[in-house]
Structure 1
Amino acid sequence: MKKEDMTNQDLFDTNHTLAKLLFEQTTYPWEVLPKISEFIVSLGQRLPKDEYVHVGKAVWIHKSVNLPPTACMGENVIIGKGAQIRHCAFIRGNAIIGDFAVIGNSSEVKNAIVFDGAQVPHFNYLGDSILGFKAHMGASSIASNVKSDKSLVTVHAEDGDIETGLKKFGAIIGDFAEIGCGAVLNPGTVIGPKSNVYPLSCVRECVDANSIYKKQGEVVEKTVTEE
């Protein structure tokens, strides 16, 4: 995947997130990550009071959402209409959870945007990342957000490395992407829309849209069988 294919408009339909304005103010998704917290505070104050409950200092929850008593939540959070927050979910803070999204059993979300209909359902970690419209993380798949040597994260584009200047940056996962169970997306990974990542994969690169990541060095284009 080349850098020119990693713009916000290439990866996401921003009509499916409350953070649409934030994406319109930036070009590439990693530019969004440092701005999430401030944006939430600003947006939350403008949300309709007849639809959202304002809890604590900076948490807004749509009235249609039922929070289980075992869920844990930090500051600077917006949870959209019809979202499912399940048993032992940990929304650590600085997170926008879209309409009808799922944050499931023992899953942790931190400094992230989860688009409408996206799913983080079972034992997942999504840190400093973006999960696109109706994208899905299989059980125990994670977006690792810090390099082992603690150096700044680089995006390895096809046409050259991109220095992000970020120490914490997990994964960018495009609309309708499917991440297989137990997969690890290493810091700076970009997965294109409608792509699949095989279970138990360890991904360290950028995967084109409409592709299947089988293993390192083996990425194939999806084929459509016509009836």
Structure 2
Amino acid sequence: AYSAVFDGAEWPWEALKVLESWLEENITPRIPPDLPEGVHLYGEKIHIAPGCILEPPLTIIAPALIGPGVELRMGAYLRGAVLVGEGTIIGHDTEVKNSILMNKVEVPHFNYIGDSILGNHTHTGAGVILSNFKISPGKAVRVKLDDEVVNTGIEKLGAILGDEAQIGCNSVTNPGTIIGKNSIIYALCNISGYIPPNTVVKNKPTYHQTILHKE
């Protein structure tokens, strides 16, 4: 059912342009009767499906559609239109803004997910940042696809991750990054442009060690 947000889109990021209005039109509000104290909800258009685990304190700002069996851990902050698929984990001190997370996504530790689309079974390690705003304001994000550069027409666009893609700890994706399905990004990488499917990206900084002599 969630795939309907992509109807009519030529490019996947176009779904983010209509996400807020799509949620406003399609959400039937539902709040669990046993909502824990410390779960802060703002706005009417919030749907939390059965079977969700909510660990307070956390904040959800409408519109937000939270699918069945989602786990929202302590400190999670969802705002600016969020669609979360079944069985997804949004962890401690993770912020999700104007994004689509499909089924079984894991963003479990200190992540920023801004204006992004994460496919099924994707994973971000601790401290991963999906940057969504260029350092030069007022310019639309351009997406590099092989030899083609596509002007998205939007100023804020994070990353798009294909199914099963993984990003290692403390990596950063620059605005408009596309990572193909099954690709693996190692820790401490600075990623931009287009990463094809089934690709491994490694960053191996050099380091030196010496013996510490104490008198």
| TM-score normalized with structure 1 length | 0.81
Q: How does 1:1-227 map to 2 (within 5 A)?
A: 18-45=1-28, 52-53=30-31, 56-150=43-137, 151-215=139-203
Percent sequence identity is 36
Matched residue SS, 2:19 = helix
**1:73–1:93 Cα contact (<8 Å) kept:** no
Structure 1: give runs of 5+ residues left out of the alignment: 1-17, 216-227
**1:103–1:121 Cα contact (<8 Å) kept:** yes
CA RMSD of aligned residues (A): 1.5
Matched residue SS, 1:168 = coil
| Residues paired across the two proteins, number | 193
Q: Which has the higher contact order (CA 8 A, sep 6+)?
A: 1
Show structure 1 runs of 4+ deviating over 6 A. Answer: none
The letter for the 1-side match of 2:112 is: Y
CA distance in 1, matches of 2:157, 2:2: 18
CA distance in 1, matches of 2:160, 2:46: 24
Question: 1 or 2, which has the higher helix percentage?
Answer: 1
| TM-score normalized with structure 2 length | 0.86
CA distance in 2, matches of 1:116, 1:25: 21
Bigger-Rg structure (1/2): 2
**2:56–2:73 Cα contact (<8 Å) kept:** no
Structure 2: give runs of 5+ residues left out of the alignment: 33-40, 204-215
Describe the superposition over 1:112-144 as per-residue Cα deviations: whole angstroms up to 9, x where unpaired. 000010011000000000010000011100100
CA distance in 2, matches of 1:93, 1:187: 18
The letter for the 2-side match of 1:33 is: L
CA distance in 2, matches of 1:113, 1:97: 6
Q: Aligned-pair distance for 1:22? A: 1.6
Describe the superposition over 1:156-184 as per-residue Cα deviations: whole angstroms up to 9, x where unpaired. 11122110011000000110000111010
CA distance in 2, matches of 1:33, 1:63: 25
CA distance in 2, matches of 1:145, 1:119: 19
CA distance in 2, matches of 1:20, 1:30: 13
Q: Aligned-pair distance for 1:19? A: 2.3
Q: What does residue 15 of structure 1 align with?
A: none
**2:27–2:47 Cα contact (<8 Å) kept:** yes
CA distance in 1, matches of 2:20, 2:2: 11
CA distance in 2, matches of 1:142, 1:22: 24
The letter for the 2-side match of 1:165 is: G
